Amino acid sequence: MKSMLDPKASKMTDKPVRPDPNHNAPYEAWPGVSAAPHCYYLDFDEGYQLCSDGWLMFDTTDPWIELTGQTEVRYPCVLTTEQLESIRHCPGVAKVTQFGDDEWLRERKVRWHPEQNNGKGHGYLVYFADEHYTVGEHLAKIGLTFEGVWKMSRTRDYNPSKLVTEEQLRIIHSDPKVLMIEETTGGTFC
């Protein structure tokens, strides 16, 4: 996750913030029909970051949002209707925005981690919004193939290749079932 030091943060915690009924982050729905109706971006207030994905990716626990002094930069996630309402009451969440149409989806960017030293290169992980979606279904939809990728895999993510072009990244992002593409940590795919 890309983050930056926030020297103005006055009260650091090591515990997650608790929902506050008085806090109600604004919600921006996509006008018309969204191509990815359960996918959202979270924007955070200064000094807050997501420290554990919780139900934002794995449907297990409440989100772990802390006042750490570092600011989380726009985080993609999948939310149910109940989770959407709940997270809007978490202090630190500045705004919730629904994903848009197919053209808008193609313009999404890779989540980079500039604080990590990735040596001579970097790899990518592609995360799906649907845990039942297979890599093969995804590749058939976007019309690409990557060597060594197990097409029958039902997984939340896959590694396409370390040799992915900007155009291929754009095509991968055009699938509304792709939640995000993230840079991998250094060394693994160098």
Cβ atoms of 92 and 48 within 8 Å: the answer is: yes
Pairing of strands 27-28, 93-98: parallel
Which residue in this structure is represented by tokens 């992002």?
173
pLDDT tens digits, residue range 100-130? 998 899 889 888 876 666 555 668 889 998 8
pLDDT tens digits, residue range 28-38? 999 999 999 99
What is the value of pTM for the model shown? Answer: 0.77
pLDDT tens digits, residue range 136-147? 899 999 998 887
